[in-house]
Amino acid sequence: MSANSVSRLKQQWEVEYDQSRKRDLSKRRYVYILADDIYCKVRMDDKLYLPVVIGVDNTSYKEVIAVVDGYRESEVSWLEVLSQLTCQDINISP
């Protein structure tokens, strides 16, 4: 891929990411919430760390609720991803 294509795709993904972070989840009902870490190999010697929170509804549909580009498994990374959740009304069914 050319540098221009990569740049254009990155801009598009940033817009989509911002939209997903700002979406209203107050009408969604989750049966449970999963929190986990994902490591992606970016280069030969570099890994990308992503703390992820996923909600699962009563039909077993899974939806990414929050994800950030973190720094290893650290308190700071998890505080950043969880702070996204405190700004939103998330309903968890009993």
Whole-number pLDDT of residue 61: 93
Residue 20 in domain: no
Residue 19 in domain: no
Residue 67 in domain: yes
Quick one: which of 80, 61, 83 has its CA closest to 71?
A: 80
Residue 51 in domain: yes
Please count the structural domains in the chain.
1
Residue 62 in domain: yes
- In terms of residue numbers, what domain contains 35? 25-92
Whole-number pLDDT of residue 38: 85
Where are the strands (E) in the chain, listed by range?
Answer: 29-30, 32-43, 46-56, 62-67, 91-92
Residue 42 in domain: yes
Whole-number pLDDT of residue 62: 94
**pLDDT, tens digit only, all 94 positions of the chain:** 788 888 889 899 889 888 887 887 778 888 988 988 888 877 767 778 888 899 999 999 999 888 888 777 778 888 888 877 765 556 555 5
User: Could you tell me the pTM of the whole model?
Assistant: 0.70
